[in-house]
Structure 1
Amino acid sequence: MPRLGAHMSILGGLHLALERGQSIGCETIQVFTRNSNRWQSKQRTPEELELFRKTQIETGIHPVVAHAIYLINLASPDSTVRTMSNDAFREELARCQEADIPYLVLHPGSHRGSGLDRGIARIAQGINDAYAEHPEYTVLTLLENTAGQGDTIGRTFEELAQIAERIQDRSRIGYCIDTAHALASGHELRTPEGYAETFARFDEVLGLDKLCCVHLNDSRYDLGAERDRHEHIGKGTIGLEAFRLILNDPRFADLPMLLETPKSEDLHEDAEALALLRSLMT
């Protein structure tokens, strides 16, 4: 059975994300390892890292998945933004490595009108350079599919494949599929036929063996809208059948599946969504 969880806040300490997740029944969690709205970050102390590891053992939550900050745009044609993005990406990898976090989810970025091919080349260069500097890193970068808004890269599986083709060591990357992004970018998930076709295409282009994580989000917008707005499970345009299909797909039995839907401080929305998702599992 897949491991279910949600994105958790690290307010007060990275270890508290694990405690918050445990309080609502998470088996896995996703976190930002730093403030997601700032380029600057605070270095973690050995004591903080040890407390995180200890809490992870105590809670049994695994894997912990990190999400790169949204400011990062490896595809940017602006040299200043790209330099800051490359530096931040390297730091994200380092923070994951020191905390024994195995996966870093990355939005490919936006070419800002400079052209898809150039944007893809910049993304691959940023990833290649980061791993070349630290060949000892074991963290996998998971490229996430996008809804297709504006000049974002990753709307199609083929665009993700074009990035992968330029990665010098492809063992360094995997993929994260977001259900809301998939529907918004034109991939049908709501019928058995559409679901089968979407994942057959994913397997053909990217390889299901490289799928390491799933973001379980309903969508406010319909098929092909190319707009990115997450909705609570069962309350958007995806509906429950798609989630039933993915949760019971034996090919994904060991994957972390994570909510990224709106929540209040008491996390009752996540708790209710997790209960709903578990009710769909057979």
Structure 2
Amino acid sequence: MPLFGAHLSISRGLHNAISAASALGCDTVQIFTKNASQWTAAPLTPEAVTQFRQSAGASRLKHLTAHDSYLINLASPDDGIYAKSVEAFVDEMDRAEALGLEYLVTHPGAHTGSGEEAGLERVIAGYEEVHARCAGFKVRVLIETTAGQGTALGHRFEHLAAILQRATCADRMGVCFDTCHVFAAGYSLVSASDYQATFQQFDELVGLGHLKLFHVNDSAKALGSRVDRHAGIGSGEIGPDAFRRLVTDPRFLDRPMILETPKKNEDGAEMDAVNIGLLRRFATEGVARAG
């Protein structure tokens, strides 16, 4: 059975995200290591690092993951923003490494008018500089598929392939496959044939071996809309059958699958446990049918 988890808040302390994940019955968890809407943050204290590592070590959680700041844009043609992004990403790497995290998820960035090829060259150079400055780190950077809003890179599998084929640090990287983003970018997962075709195309261009983690989200917007709006599992345009296929796909049974779905429904009810429960039920039903 896959490893299910959710992105959880660190508002009450980094270690409390571990407690919250355990209370939800998660197998894995994703966090921000700082405010994702700010460039800088106070350094992690030795006490916070120790407390987090002890909590994580005492839990059953695997593949602990962070997501970097939304402000980082290594594809920017603006030298000031690019330099600021490199510094911010090095800090994200430092924080993830200190906490003993396995993965750091990042968006490739937006070219803001310079063009896709120029943007890809910029982001490749950025990843190479960051990894050179973080020599020996164990944390692996995962490039996230994107919905393609504006000039964002990463909405075509070809973008990911170009980065992983050309970057000298590719052996320290991988891919985070976001179901909502991929669908919004125009790759359908709805029918069995759509699902098969999308993953076949991904495998041919990028390689399933690079796919290390899933963000498991339904999409509130239509196929190809290039609008990033997450919905609860089975309640959006993708629908439940795609997630049934995903959680029973033998190729992905060892991959962490992390929710970034809305935390509450219209009535204010907490939804992480509901969505994780749905995924577990789909997986269990698949095992029962196979048996």
Between the aligned partners of 1:218 and 1:12, the Cα distance in structure 2 is: 28
Fraction of identical pairs, as percent: 43
Between the aligned partners of 2:258 and 2:107, the Cα distance in structure 1 is: 16
Following superposition, the deviation at residue 62 of structure 1 comes to: 1.3
| Unaligned runs of at least 5 residues, structure 2 | 287-291
The one-letter code of the counterpart of 2:9 is S
The one-letter code of the counterpart of 1:268 is E
Following superposition, the deviation at residue 188 of structure 1 comes to: 1.1
Q: Secondary structure at the match of 1:280?
A: helix
| 1:220-235 alignment runs, 5 A limit | 220-235=220-235
Structure 2 counterpart of 1:276, from 278, 284, 289: 278
Between the aligned partners of 1:211 and 1:267, the Cα distance in structure 2 is: 33
RMSD: 1.4
- 1:45 matched to which residue of 2? 45
The one-letter code of the counterpart of 2:279 is L
Contact 1:24/1:267 (8 A) holds in 2: no
Between the aligned partners of 1:264 and 1:29, the Cα distance in structure 2 is: 18
Q: Secondary structure at the match of 2:5?
A: strand
- 2:133 matched to which residue of 1? 133
The one-letter code of the counterpart of 1:15 is H
Following superposition, the deviation at residue 267 of structure 1 comes to: 7.7
Following superposition, the deviation at residue 108 of structure 1 comes to: 0.5
Contact 2:127/2:169 (8 A) holds in 1: no
The one-letter code of the counterpart of 1:6 is A
Contact 1:184/1:223 (8 A) holds in 2: yes
Between the aligned partners of 1:138 and 1:101, the Cα distance in structure 2 is: 8
Name the stretch that deviates more: 102-111 or 44-53. Answer: 44-53
Following superposition, the deviation at residue 169 of structure 1 comes to: 2.7
Following superposition, the deviation at residue 45 of structure 1 comes to: 1.6
Cα deviation code 1:191-238 (max 9, x no counterpart): 111111111111111111111100000101111111110011111101
TM-score for the superposition, normalised by structure 2 = 0.94
| 1:1-282 alignment runs, 5 A limit | 1-264=1-264, 268-281=270-283, 282=286
Between the aligned partners of 1:15 and 1:81, the Cα distance in structure 2 is: 32
Between the aligned partners of 1:124 and 1:89, the Cα distance in structure 2 is: 13
Contact 1:189/1:198 (8 A) holds in 2: yes
| Unaligned runs of at least 5 residues, structure 1 | none
Cα deviation code 1:117-163 (max 9, x no counterpart): 11101101111011112221111110111111111001111011112
Following superposition, the deviation at residue 102 of structure 1 comes to: 1.1
Q: Secondary structure at the match of 1:268?
A: coil
Cα deviation code 1:48-94 (max 9, x no counterpart): 11111111122211111110110101011111111111111111111
Runs of 4+ in 1 over 4 A off after TM superposition: 264-267
Decide whether aligned partners of structure 1 residues 59 and 99 sit closer, same or farther in structure 2, where only a CA change above 3 A counts: same
Q: Secondary structure at the match of 2:271?
A: helix
TM-score for the superposition, normalised by structure 1 = 0.97
Between the aligned partners of 1:267 and 1:257, the Cα distance in structure 2 is: 22
Contact 1:8/1:21 (8 A) holds in 2: yes
Following superposition, the deviation at residue 244 of structure 1 comes to: 0.4
